[in-house]
Amino acid sequence: MVQTFQGLKRSSPALVACQEMRELTAPLVGNPLHEHIKVTVFMDGLRVGPARTQLFRVQASTLEEAIQVTVQEEYSHRQARTPVSAWPGGSTPSANRTAPSGPVPWNSGSPSSRTSAATAAEGWPI
């Protein structure tokens, strides 16, 4: 067992990092931080965006609530930004180009070239 410990001690920088983390977290066991401090530090660590804005609106009282609000808002924002072609059964970009779903620009040729029959067939008043 001593050989195993000495081998880890010599070969693993992760062991040093683990020990440093233990030393940093040890004082928190006997004297934990208040929830509002945890929430404030968590909010300060978020980048500016919809999740942080929503967290400021909600004013979470616990760290768990703050994390839940953030995850939900990130998910909602990601879904809103997902292109339609990525959805199951969504249309492809090439299909949108061949059959436009919105208004089509009107070719404003000379009025004499349009007959009244063609205008009436398109639904325009004569």
Residue 126 is given by DSSP the state -
Do the domain assignments include residue 108? no
Do the domain assignments include residue 14? yes
Do the domain assignments include residue 118? no
Do the domain assignments include residue 21? yes
In single-letter form, the type of residue at position 7 comes to G
Cα 94 to its chain centre, rounded Å, is: 26
Structure tokens at 89: 């059964």
Q: 66: how many CB neighbours lie within 10 A of its CB?
A: 22
Structure tokens at 105: 């620009």
Do the domain assignments include residue 90? no
Structure tokens at 122: 């398109």
Range of the domain at 15: 1-31
Entry field: residues in the chain = 126
Question: What pLDDT does 66 receive?
Answer: 92
Asked whether residue 44 falls in the same domain as residue 3, the answer is no
pLDDT exceeds cutoff 70 at 7: no
Structure tokens at 112: 């004499």
Report d(CA 115, CA 75) in Å as an integer. Answer: 55
Rounded to an integer, the average pLDDT of 86-102 is 59
Q: What is the pLDDT of residues 56-78, one digit of tens each?
A: 999 999 999 999 999 999 888 88
> Could you tell me if residue 99 is left (phi over 0), alpha (psi between -120 and 50 degrees) or otherwise beta?
beta
State the pLDDT confidence band at 30, using cuts at 50, 70 and 90. Answer: confident
State the pLDDT confidence band at 81, using cuts at 50, 70 and 90. Answer: confident
Do the domain assignments include residue 105? no
Tracing tokens 């980048």 back to the chain, one arrives at 47
Do the domain assignments include residue 51? yes
